[in-house]
Copies of this chain bind each other. A is one copy, B any other.
């Protein structure tokens, strides 16, 4: 986290902002660590992009007298939300095709649209739109998997969000890369170029067991071990995927990944909907994480992830929105609520995934999955000042007996007022501060005209 180093790309690094020293004084502070804590009359001290201290407000005022003080009198201050799985650029396909079975959705709508439209420009504009949506919804970090990760990275840096970029690999050619080796080479080059970028990091992103060959998975496993970075893969999303693996490989996908040395603490098993008891134990034993995307799993009718069982086994659970084409929101408040509610229904136990667990999965759980457990996901001295203020006011949030219950069950992203990423204010009073988003409205209209023809609207 060398925050003193200016970001690449000729943009204004905003040092004045980054080096600012300030004290945030919220009504409620929800640090995530220690688990379950909700502090009042506490302050968060920020300096040079980092959290310098978390301490009683009176003490903060005395010890850090020269610091600017920001009052958040009706707000809960939480760690910036971390979106553990998305395809950010797919915002451009939001609502293009809904209420369709997975294969018709992919084959008749999404893939043709991608084939016609996906370009570096598409990914840059779509990712920038995703960043605007996510920041407005209190998300400070996202983990992306899509074509042209270079364009996604460029957009994320322009948006000044923290981001993890998947070194995507898939066995079919696209406008971005010719074959598996080409995908990997381009992704690794990108990582070399941006490896010391403070706001960006990388993971390996083999698309899915049904689109990646053994040889490629082996190469991914070797790279993951060498580079010690996460491996982000769709796995056990549908019954169909499992049947196909049994037919083609004689084993279920997770067993195949295990044989290929991919079930490790670096694994982010995205979706992980269909799991046997043994597979849950396997994930737990190896310290793998699950990126749970409840809205997407419901919308595509993929099935119900066994969240209570995963939690009981000790598997780290992260939440993700998936892409806007299968959600259709990049909204971690919605995912927290849906995850907490759905886990209860699936477990037939109202105690499953309590509000605290949902909030943890959307913050520290996700940060840990992404290899950012020391950087983000909780409000603790030494971590980056990635912070989100949620105004708990208005008749929708009254009365208020339990702040964390409100954050998960009653509040929405519309209650987010202020967001800081590495100490830099990106949202204030609900308004985005970054000029990089100004061209978006016009660009989105152009993409709508372009893709709308395809959708037949």
Q: List residues of A whose CB falls within 8 A of some B CB.
A: 91-92, 94-96, 98-102, 105, 129, 132-133, 136-137, 295, 297-304, 327-329, 331, 334, 337-338, 340-342, 344-345, 347-352, 354-355, 395-396, 398-402, 405-406, 409-410, 412-414, 437, 440-441, 444-445, 447-448, 451-452, 455, 457
Contact = CB atoms under 8 A, between A and B. Distances in A.
Nearest to A295: B341
A300 B344 CA distance: 7
B348 A303 contact: yes
A295 B341 CA distance: 7
Nearest to A304: B345
Contacts of A129: 395, 398
Contacts of A406: 95, 328
Contacts of A298: 341-342, 344-345
Contact of A399 (B350, B401, B410, B448): B448
A412 B137 CA distance: 13
A341 B395 CA distance: 27
Contacts of A95: 399-402, 405-406, 409-410
Contacts of A455: 401-402
A155 to B, nearest CB: 13
A99 B343 CA distance: 11
Please provide the 4 A-B residue pairs with the shortest distance between their CB atoms, ordered closest to farther. A399-B448, A414-B414, A298-B341, A99-B354
A340 B338 CA distance: 13
Given A136-B396, A299-B350, A301-B348, 18 more contacts: A95-B399, A95-B400, A95-B405, A96-B401, A98-B409, A99-B340, A101-B349, A105-B350, A133-B395, A328-B406, A328-B409, A328-B410, A329-B410, A338-B341, A399-B447, A399-B448, A399-B452, A402-B457
A331 B295 CA distance: 17
A342 B457 CA distance: 27
Nearest to A352: B301
A452 B398 CA distance: 12
A359 to B, nearest CB: 12
A136 B351 CA distance: 31
A301 B94 contact: no
Contacts of A91: 398
A402 B457 CA distance: 8
Nearest to A447: B399
Given A295-B341, A354-B98, A412-B414, A347 B301 contact: yes
A123 to B, nearest CB: 15
Nearest to A452: B401
Contacts of A300: 344, 350
Contacts of A347: 301
Given A102-B350, A405-B328, A399 B92 contact: yes
A124 to B, nearest CB: 15
Contacts of A341: 295, 298-299, 338
Contacts of A444: 395, 398-399
A236 to B, nearest CB: 15
Contacts of A413: 396, 412
Contacts of A99: 340, 344, 350-351, 354-355
A219 to B, nearest CB: 34
Contacts of A101: 349-351
